Amino acid sequence: MRIACLVKPVPDPEYYNRISIDPVRGILTRAGIPVVMNPTDRHALEEAIRIKEKMGGEVVIFSMAPDDAGGILKDGLAMGADEAYLLSDRAFAGADTLATSYTLAKAIEQFGPFDIILAGNESADGSTSQVPPQVGVWLSMPSLAGIIRMEYGESFRVWCDVEEGRVEYEVTPPVVFAVKRGINTPRYIGIKGIMAAKSKKVSIIRVGDISVDLDRIGLNGSPTRAGRIVVPDIGRKGETITGSPGEIAEGIIEGLRKAGVIKEGMI
Amino acid sequence: MRDHEDILVFTEFKDGHPLKVGLEILSKARGLADEMSGGLYAMVLTDRADGFDMLFKYGADRVYAGIDESFRYYTGAYFSRMAVSLVENIKPYAFIIGATAMGSMFAPEVAAYLKTGLAAHVIDYKIDHAGNLVQVVPSFGSRVAAEILTPHSRPQMSTVRPGTFELKENLRNGSIVHLDTSELDYIAPRVTPLGFEEVKPEGMPLEDAEVVVVGGGGIETREDWENLKELSRLLNGALGCTRPIVDKGWSDEAHMVGTSGKTIKPKVYIGIAVSGSSHHITGMKDSGLVIAINKDENAPIFDVADIRIVADYKEILPALLSMIKG
């Protein structure tokens, strides 16, 4: 099994409350926010490595990000992936999900073929969930998302989380799978993994290294345009209740009563 | 711009009934269609010829219905083929899809086939003076709202999460157009649905509850979690959680509030040891009364709280439980 795993570096979700807009230039400031591997992608990588451990083969990471994302891909290699391709070029910048999925698909095609493309179900920053199914379209592969459980052998069985339950599918590769965080618990990166990663390669791929239609990449290849950005004011003028635990509990019950959710006699 | 522009809404069906999110989108899109002097059309792929009346009730002028046994469960190859054919045929101005589990697979696939733009999880629509649809979407949790335009391709595609728009009746005398499903015979999907297994979430559904108690990453023990469960039960409410509780295995994603979980608007939200990541706030900011208990006075949840309690929940919870129990 050759497995491609899509990994996205994202600003650490723990710090999103610090994101603000530069009032002069009207752009987002993310200064001081560290970049991490998108949390859901870690679960995709774990699943990819498990498939490899059971069925043999190799796991290859693909990521489209600036050069400095190499460290995050090294983490993926330390987890157990075999190789990583970092698609980094000014020409790729400004890509929306359609252009991103096209660029990733072209790289996957170039360094393929792959039996399985695995990805996290959504990224923490944009949360669109669009890239995995769109990669599937460019590669003429079917895709499934919201995967919460997988069994593999001759064919694949996967369970997709849907409203009020799960739908089970039987799948014949090649296929694109987008997984949810509940599918597994990613392994810790141990010293052995870190040592092993030293001899593994992160290859930086520039636009000239893959065969792409320049009208389909970057801003040119993106049908969407970002308009204004606003930080919505969702703050409330709250009151602070202080006092003994009993006094605070009374304050809470008073609030519940005013909101009309406590009927007389209930308490 | 043409003299009239039509809007197509994919309304997902289950067991012969439309999901509520489709009706919510129709309710909102009716106004947009009127503004463009266009029609509002619903697309349905279903295994039963039932439930179309509801679509007319919420504003659809026409229903394009594909009825076939193979539409019982989602199969990308079938659904996308049907959608691409219909869009190429009627050339709508916008195509809007509910961001359900199924819609989140279907919408990106269709957008990629059509090579058009797709805005995710729209919270508001406007039409600008150039005649483009302005699609307002959240980003970085709900920390930021951005306008997304698809100026040069049509249709302008977007998804909408359940619970975003209000239901509004607007009864139309609509017609049903049956879609030809014969071309599906030539498709051999490599993804075959085998069946559906119902997973009943424990307790009252979060979306229906007047009171939602949410436990966050600061909840220290399983016993404390059980106490929260009791509090929610005593208040006839539901119990929700944030990501750390799911990671601890005390609850599951069906009970998680936020970007990758549920969006809730209860009369009262009580956040206990919830720090308030922007992903969580996305899912609860439109609640009625917001009560927050956290020992960290700088916790972001306090920015969106009506009643702030800077204290250790371990001290407040027993007092509250004993007072309610009398």
B232 CB near a chain A CB, below 8 Å?
A: no
Question: A20 with A109, same domain?
Answer: yes
Which of B 136-195 lie inside 8 A of A, CB atoms?
A: 139-153, 189-195
ipTM score of complex: 0.91
Question: A241 with A114, same domain?
Answer: no
Whether A117 and A231 have beta carbons less than 8 Å apart is answered as no
Whether A176 and A135 have beta carbons less than 8 Å apart is answered as yes
Question: A96 with A178, same domain?
Answer: yes
Nearest CA in chain A to B157: A224
Whether A68 and A85 have beta carbons less than 8 Å apart is answered as no
Which residue in B144, B233, B281 has the most chain A C-beta atoms within 10 A of its own C-beta, making it the best mutation to test that interface? B144
Question: A135 with A10, same domain?
Answer: yes
Which of A 30-89 lie inside 8 A of B, CB atoms?
A: none
Angle between helices A70-79 and A191-198 (to 10 degrees): 120
DSSP one-letter string for B39-63: -EEEEEEESSS--THHHHHTT-SEE
Question: A39 with A149, same domain?
Answer: yes
- Total domains, chain A: 2
| The pLDDT of residue B1 is above 60 | no
A125 CB near a chain B CB, below 8 Å?
A: yes
Distance (Å) from the C-alpha of residue A105 to the closest C-alpha of chain B?
12
Residue A229 lies in a domain: no
Nearest CA in chain B to A130: B108
pLDDT score, position B97: 98
B319 CB near a chain A CB, below 8 Å?
A: yes
CB contact under 8 A, A14 and B141: no
pLDDT score, position B65: 98
Which run of H or of E encompasses B118?
strand B118-119
Query: Between vectors from CA A162 to CA A151 and to CA B198, what angle results, nearest 5°?
Result: 80
Q: For a pLDDT cut of 70, what percent of chain B falls above it?
A: 98
Residue A231 lies in a domain: no
Question: A30 with A115, same domain?
Answer: yes
What are residue B98's DSSP bridge partners? B160
CB contact under 8 A, B144 and A19: yes
Residue A232 lies in a domain: no
Model confidence pLDDT, tens digit, residues B259-310: 778 889 999 999 999 998 888 998 898 899 999 999 999 898 999 999 999 9
* Residue B164 CA: distances (Å) to CA of A1, A230, B132, B160, B317: 42, 19, 21, 7, 32
The two structure tokens encoding residue A228 = 């204004």
Residues of A in contact with B324 (CB under 8 A): 253, 267
Residue A60 lies in a domain: yes
Question: A34 with A107, same domain?
Answer: yes
Pick A25 or B254 by higher pLDDT: B254
Question: A265 with A188, same domain?
Answer: no
Which of B 235-254 lie inside 8 A of A, CB atoms?
A: 235-237, 246, 252-253
A228 CB near a chain B CB, below 8 Å?
A: yes
Distance (Å) from the C-alpha of residue A205 to the closest C-alpha of chain B?
24
Q: Which domain holds residue A267?
A: 237-267
Question: A196 with A255, same domain?
Answer: no
A245 CB near a chain B CB, below 8 Å?
A: yes
- Estimate to the nearest angstrom the gap between the alpha carbon of A191 and the chain centroid: 25
Which residue in B105, B126, B284, B308 has the most chain A C-beta atoms within 10 A of its own C-beta, making it the best mutation to test that interface? B105
Model confidence pLDDT, tens digit, residues B126-182: 999 999 999 999 877 677 788 999 999 999 999 999 988 999 999 999 999 999 999
Reported confidence tier of residue B203, pLDDT bands at 50, 70, 90: confident
Residue A226 lies in a domain: no
Mean pLDDT of B73-85: 96
Nearest CA in chain B to A236: B304
* SS3 assignment, position A149: strand
State phi, psi for A189 to the nearest 5 degrees: -85, 115
Model confidence pLDDT, tens digit, residues B9-36: 999 999 999 999 999 999 999 999 999 9
Residue A230 lies in a domain: no
Question: A144 with A263, same domain?
Answer: no
Which of A 85-104 lie inside 8 A of B, CB atoms?
A: 96-98, 101
- Estimate to the nearest angstrom the gap between the alpha carbon of B141 and the chain centroid: 15
Question: A171 with A133, same domain?
Answer: yes
Tell me, what CATH number does A130's domain have? 3.40.50.620
pLDDT score, position B2: 60
Reported confidence tier of residue B204, pLDDT bands at 50, 70, 90: confident
Question: A89 with A45, same domain?
Answer: yes
Mean pLDDT of B62-77: 96
pLDDT score, position A50: 97
Blockwise average pLDDT, block size 10, chain A, 267 residues: 96 77 68 88 98 96 94 96 97 95 98 96 89 98 96 91 93 96 93 95 96 96 90 81 92 91 70
DSSP one-letter string for B266-317: -SEEEEES----HHHHHHHTT-SEEEEEES-TT-GGGGG-SEEEES-HHHHH
CA atoms within 13 A on the CB side of B16: 3
Residues of A in contact with B109 (CB under 8 A): 133-134, 136-137, 143
Residue A224 lies in a domain: no
Distance (Å) from the C-alpha of residue B253 to the closest C-alpha of chain A?
8
Nearest CA in chain B to A234: B304
Residue A221 lies in a domain: no
Domains and CATH numbers, chain B: 7-186 (3.40.50.620), 206-325 (3.40.50.1220)
